[in-house]
Chain A
Amino acid sequence: MKNQHINPVEPYLRMDRMPHIWCPGCGIGIVVNCFVRALNQSGIDPDLVSIISGIGCTGRIAGYLKLDSFHTTHGRPIPFATGLKVARPELKVLVFSGEGDLVSIGGNHLIHAARRNSDIKVFCVNNFTYAMTGGQVGPTAPIHSIATTTPYGSYDRPFNLPFLADSTGAVYVARWTTYHVRQLTRSMVEAINKPGFCFVEIIAPCPTIYQRRNRLGDGLEAMRYYKRYSRVINGANTRMVGLELKGPIIVGKFIDRDRSTLLEAMNEEFSSKLGARYQPYPTGVVR
């Protein structure tokens, strides 16, 4: 009887680790929810999925998903993921982490993984702050953001993540907010099934810290804001989608293009130079 009422997401969660650490109104749970639904829709065997996280609130996602999961070091989930993918190309290797982890301390790995089209999928939860450590300014925080380390307001220019991923070579770039659960789920399915380096930015509220300090209201208020101020522009020029404090949020699928993955390119080069001496390496890609 009990199983008839089970939440469809539950079989993919480590229920023996509940309750989780995320605050009421936090957007990360929505991301997990969307991901599990996306995984279901993708038709991928969950045994062939690995989740890689770094450090931070979003970094805890790996620990709650009942999949092969790795909670690595701060900023380094992307090179771990590249190593795993290269070793086991038949696996789907997915990175979930925050913008501080992936873009600040891990920024070098992000741009190089995009450049070489490492066949991993990066889901970057952007809440503009280092929430786990109490709310220091993040590398994407809009100018004038209040954080514990910018008590008078931030003044250095933030990264525009879709532009960064686009210009460094990602083959798939999208941005949604945690209000856009259906669109986000669809983007996750597309990214999971697309060969190459895919980057999905998810704007998420941190009501406890970022929202409160910047007088942006609670979690519900954030949802109202995302609903009112988001504009869907699929194919938007990523140069134009930078964010401002209390400004509009351009969302959508911005980039969807094809190019050889790291392992495909390796095979192409080695086969052309080495001929029969080279046994092509498995790529995990079906085109």
Chain B
Amino acid sequence: MGADPQGVLTGVHFLDGDHACCEGAIAAGCRAAFGYPITPSTEIVERIALRLPLVGGVFVQMEDEIASSIAIQGAAWGGKKVITVTSGPGMSLMMEHVGLAAMTETPCVFVNVQRGGPSTGLPTLPAQGDMMQARWGSHGDYEIIAISPNSPQECFDLTVHAFNLSERYRVPVLIMMDESVGHMTERVTIPHAEQIEVESRRLPEGPKEEYLPFAPGENLVPPMAPVGEGYRFHVTGLTHNEKGYPVMSPDVQDHLVRRLLDKIRLNAEDIAMVEEDQIQDADVVLVAYGITSRVVLRTLHLAREKGLKVGVFRPVVVWPFPEKRLRELAERVKAFVVVELNYGQVVLEVERIVGGRVPTVLVPHGGGALHNPEDILRVVEEAW
């Protein structure tokens, strides 16, 4: 289905990533947003506050990130497509409600414009230090989807995609931007509304009194009834049966949590999104995501100039990690060099998948700036 033309700013724009993200949300049909200011994500809520009232939507600046992260879920059950945006410290506060959204299968989008951490860290400077938090930050076993755009154009395109995945799988989707992508200004082309693919959650069919709000449907995802239509359903963060009622038993726990994991894990190929560059003949593969995936393109160029057969593997969707494709590459390349703005997070997943078949080398960086492509090249040369 195409997007609602109201609010789609079709045309060519000069936007930063934060503003492009806001436009992506509106194009995706987001009409309710809640947020709290925090650098470097603030420009997103500022633009949302400017734009949503003009397209029939509503934005409320909440008292804190905890409130924002659950107000979106109230609005989601009210039938809206919803977003909240934050950065490191705010994401830490929101983590309990990422878990609530996973447990109650509430479609919602969280944006984390990453900055240097831990704690207050480097508020105005980039990092990619929240990647494992995105995956594991709330307590218990659950799965989320995390997407990592590397340009303002992708901040638009992938925000639309994030909403679609969230609605399709009834799962919180985290858009893992960083300060560089958020504040970088580039050309952004917004297509005509009918060219923007927009998905909405599946509604239940059949008699209301027989509705089981947590019985798996297509892809293990239960259809989602709206509030106020007489379904009179119950939703709880407690372990619950298909009727939504709390049940404190290991059997129900296994049945529920296994499905919450499987609906993402078994659909990982549908969710996976990968970008590859000169991978066909590559001996050494640079693995990078987000802003770092642009830095390594320079390294790739320098390496190829030297005659080194280097390629780039970029998970656009980082969680679930595109495991199948990486495993295929591990069968034929000589080494992986993982480049990330942290001291080693996604590299752990790469190492797990590669399983020691070939060397996996990390090029760490604490954040606050981007890698120097020539430093990466030196590591690549050593990998031979």
Partner of A76, one of B32, B67, B245: B67
Interface flag for A66 (CB, 8 Å):
yes
> Quick one: given A47-B230, A50-B227, A80-B74, are A86 and B79 in contact (CB under 8 Å)?
no
Contact partner of A69 (CB less than 8 A), chosen from B76, B79, B234, is: B234
Checking A62, A73, A278 against B234 with a beta-carbon cut-off of 8 angstroms, the contacting residue is A62
A47 x B78 contact (CB < 8 A): no
Known contacts A48-B228, A68-B233; is-contact A87 B62 (Cβ 8 Å): no
Could you say which residues of chain B place their CB within 8 Å of the CB of A234? Answer: none
Would you give the shortest CB distance from A15 to chain B, in whole angstroms? 12
Interface residues of A: mostly helix, strand, loop or mixed?
helix
Q: Are A79 and B74 neighbours in the complex by a CB distance under 8 Å?
A: yes
The answer to whether B96 and A90 have CB atoms under 8 Å apart is no
Least CB separation from B68: chain A residue? A79
A181 contacts the other chain (CB 8 A): no
Contact indicator A84/B70 (Cβ below 8 Å): no
Q: A70 to chain B: closest CB distance in Å? A: 5
A75 to B112, CA, bound (A): 24
Would you give the shortest CB distance from A108 to chain B, in whole angstroms?
A: 5
- Cα A50 to Cα B235 with chains together (Å): 11
Instruction: Tell whether, in the assembled complex, residue A82 and residue B58 are in contact, meaning their CB atoms are under 8 Å apart.
Output: no
Question: For residue B80, which residues in chain A have a CB less than 8 angstroms away from its CB?
Answer: 87
Min CB distance, B9 to chain A, in Å? 15
For the residues of B in contact with A, the DSSP-based class is mixed
Q: Which residues of B contact A83 (CB under 8 A)?
A: 32, 34, 70-76, 78, 82
Find B70's partner among A17, A68, A76, A279 (CB 8 Å cutoff).
A76
Using a Cβ–Cβ cut-off of 8 Å, how many residues does chain A contribute to the interface with B? Answer: 44
Chain B residues positioned under 8 Å from A85 (CB to CB)? 74, 78
Confirm or deny: B378 has a beta carbon within 8 angstroms of a beta carbon on chain A. no
- B238 at the A interface (CB under 8 A): yes
Contact call B232/A47, Cβ cutoff below 8 A: yes
Min distance, Cβ B306 to any Cβ of chain A, angstroms: 55
Known contacts A47-B232, A83-B34, A109-B67; is-contact A281 B75 (Cβ 8 Å) = no
Choose from B74, B96, B236 the contact partner of A63 (Cβ within 8 Å): B236
Q: State in angstroms the CA–CA spacing of A80 and B80 once bound together.
A: 13
* Contact status B228-A278, CB under 8 Å: no
On whether A70 and B67 interact (CB within 8 A), knowing A47-B232, A90-B228, A281-B58, the answer reads: no
- Known contacts: A86-B75, A88-B78, A91-B227. The answer to whether A71 contacts B238 by CB under 8 A is yes
B64 at the interface (CB under 8 A from A): yes
Q: Is the CB–CB distance between B67 and A88 below 8 Å?
A: no
* Residue from B67, B96, B231 with most neighbouring chain A CB atoms (10 Å): B67
Q: What would be 8 A-B contacts, judged by CB atoms less than 8 Å apart?
A: A50-B227, A70-B74, A73-B97, A76-B66, A76-B97, A87-B32, A112-B63, A278-B54
The residues of A with any CB-CB pair to B shorter than 8 Å are 14, 16-17, 46-48, 50, 52, 62-63, 66-73, 76, 79-88, 90-91, 108-109, 112, 116, 262-263, 266, 270, 274, 277-279, 281
